[in-house]
Amino acid sequence: MVTTIQWIKPPDSWVKINTDGSALNNPGRIGAGGILRNQTGEFILAFSVPLGQGTNNQAEIEAANFGLTWCVQLNYKNVILEVDSQLLADWFSNKAAVP
């Protein structure tokens, strides 16, 4: 089965960061990467970083954290984080819903 995926630009005055974590085994060697683009889809920055030993979920969390930290350092306030980890997406959704 093949699934077509299309990247959607963020709204005006927003940026989008796509992150991903990887584990060679679970647990095992982990790493993180991501790319930040503006509302026209233009490249702002990309990163790839080894993280040592850990789990796939730890790699996903560290990737999002690393990317969002760069957004803060670059003074972006309107940021869309896009991840491929359902666990991480659910965690963020549940945290956002807490009063």
Q: Would you write out the chain's pLDDT as a tens digit for each of its 99 residues?
A: 888 988 999 999 999 999 999 999 999 999 999 999 999 999 999 999 999 999 999 999 999 999 999 999 999 999 999 999 999 888 878 765 545
Does any domain span residue 2? no
Starting at the edge strand found earlier in the chain, the sheet holding 15-23 runs 43-54, 28-37, 15-23, 79-82
Residues in CB range of 38: below 8 A, 6 or more apart: 10, 15, 44
Does any domain span residue 5? no
For residue 45, give both structure tokens: 């920055």
CATH number of the domain enclosing 75: 3.30.420.10
Q: What is the pLDDT of residue 97?
A: 52
- Distance, in Å, from the CA atom of 51 to the CA atom of 32, rounded to the nearest integer, reads 7
Does any domain span residue 56? yes
DSSP lists the bridge partners of residue 35 as 18, 46
Does any domain span residue 4? no
Does any domain span residue 7? no
β-pairing, 15-23 vs 79-82, is: parallel
Structural domain count, the chain:
1
Does any domain span residue 85? yes
Domain with 57 in it: 15-94
pTM for this structure? 0.86
Q: What is the pLDDT of residue 63?
A: 97
For residue 63, the SS3 value is helix
Give Dmax over CA atoms of the chain in angstroms: 41
Count of Cβ atoms closer than 10 Å to residue 60 Cβ: 25
Q: What is the pLDDT of residue 92?
A: 79
Does any domain span residue 3? no
Does any domain span residue 38? yes
Q: What is the pLDDT of residue 5?
A: 83
